[in-house]
Amino acid sequence: MDYQEILNNILASVEPLRSEGKQATYIPALAMVNPDHCGIALRTLAGECYAVGDANVRFSLQSISKVFALALALHLEGDNVWTRMGKEPSGAAFNSLIQLELEHGIPRNPFINAGAIVISDILVEHLPQPENRFIEFVRALSACPSVGYNYAVALSEKKQAFLNTAIANLLKHHNNLHGDIDRVLQFYFLMCSIEMSCAELAQAFLPFANHLVPFDYDGVTLTGSQVKRMNAIMQTCGFYDEAGEFSYLVGLPGKSGVGGGIAAIYPERYAVAVWSPRLNSKGNSVAGMKALELLTTLTAESIF
């Protein structure tokens, strides 16, 4: 059975799950997306591309963008990044303030909101035009010059961003946010608003599957070791407080977003992206998680 056949089977199998779960509504602009979409795309290092369903419809990456932001921050600061945050799973909701207060403003990892806001702070601090630099990097990664921000989504999120504003203020209180709060959050919301299709997202994650060739996209360079370690962080922290479940069921490093997308990597083989907007109670796509579980089951390919 080849990948295309497997993807076809998966799409058929997750069909009944499309209607399970609940679309994210806390960002009003996201609530208007048709929640019935479902798509999968898989790209191999060998250059093959497989796709089913709505694999060419763009959706809001949301937290998936945090992977690109971390890559850019590691390029700029290297291991200094880890003086400002940890790399441990949080064991708590992605937007919780409790752990951040108990741990004196040091976020647990770069993929919870607090960590990604610190990463945004790093980018805003280093780069003269962070929004431009970031989107050019992401365009290079995805090999797609038409990828861009959705300003309406960013603005919509900003209007309801009380929790993220609370987090940013708590970080500032602990001297772990150097820039202006509004400026940093502006970047953060834009970063999360990027839209891609599954096909584009699979392409954008492919470089993280390939630690053996030099990572160099629009001048953003990482070592093979850095690429592998980003996978390690995705594995332990990529799925909010469901990282263990995902690791158990799927066995691939990856990152999910509340837009309903999930990107995952099979190192030295492929990158895969799925999208289905309805989420489980942890904020991960119901059909998306099942699709990836079926993928590693049917291919018998996982990192373990």
- The answer to whether 283 and 246 have CB atoms below 8 angstroms apart is no
**Residue 228 Cβ, how far from a copy of itself at the closest point, in Å?**
4
> Residue 149: how many CB atoms within 10 A of its CB?
19
- CB neighbourhood size of 219 (10 A): 10
- 189 membership: H or E segment, kind and range: helix 181-192
Q: How far is the CB of 155 from a copy of itself (least distance, A)?
A: 18
**Distance of CA 79 to CAs 83, 96, 109, 132, Å?**
8, 25, 13, 24
Buried b (16+ CB within 10 A) or exposed e, 252-271: bbbbbbbbbbbbbbbbebbb
Residue 173 Cβ vs a copy of itself, minimum distance, rounded to whole Å: 4
CB of 94 to a copy of itself, least distance (A): 13
Closer residue to a copy of itself in complex, CB, 219/244: 244
| Minimum CB distance to a copy of itself smaller for 87 or for 126 | 87
Q: Which CB, 46 or 79, lies closer to a copy of itself? A: 79
Q: How far is the CB of 267 from a copy of itself (least distance, A)?
A: 5
Six token digits for residue 57:
């419809």
Cβ proximity to a copy of itself: between 55 and 74 the closer is 74
- Residue 296's Cβ-side half-sphere holds a number of Cα atoms within 13 Å equal to 24
In the complex, least distance from residue 120 CB atom to a copy of itself, rounded to whole angstroms: 17
Long-range interactions of 290-293: CB distance < 8 A, separation 24+:
290/13, 290/14, 290/17, 291/10, 291/11, 291/13, 291/14, 291/40, 292/246, 292/249, 292/250, 292/252, 292/254, 292/262, 292/264, 293/249, 293/250
Cβ count within 10 A of residue 95 = 16
Closest contact distance (angstroms) between CB of 225 and a copy of itself is 7
Q: In terms of CB distance, is 280 or 297 closer to a copy of itself?
A: 297
Nearer to a copy of itself by Cβ, of 109 and 276: the residue is 109
How near is the Cβ of 251 to a copy of itself at its closest, in Å? 5
Nearer to a copy of itself by C-beta: 23 or 96? 96
Instruction: Give the nearer residue to a copy of itself in terms of CB position, either 55 or 114.
Output: 114
Q: Which amino acid is at 15?
A: E
β pairing state of 49-53 and 22-23? unpaired
Smallest gap from Cβ 135 to a copy of itself, in A, equals: 27
Name the site residues for a copy of itself (rule: CB under 8 A): 86-92, 96-99, 101-102, 108-109, 162-163, 165-167, 169-170, 172-173, 211, 224-225, 228-229, 231-233, 235-237, 241-245, 247-249, 251, 253, 267, 297, 300, 302-304
Report which of 110, 132, 108 is spatially closest to residue 119, judged by C-alpha positions: 110
Rounded Cα distance between 179 and 15, Å, is 46
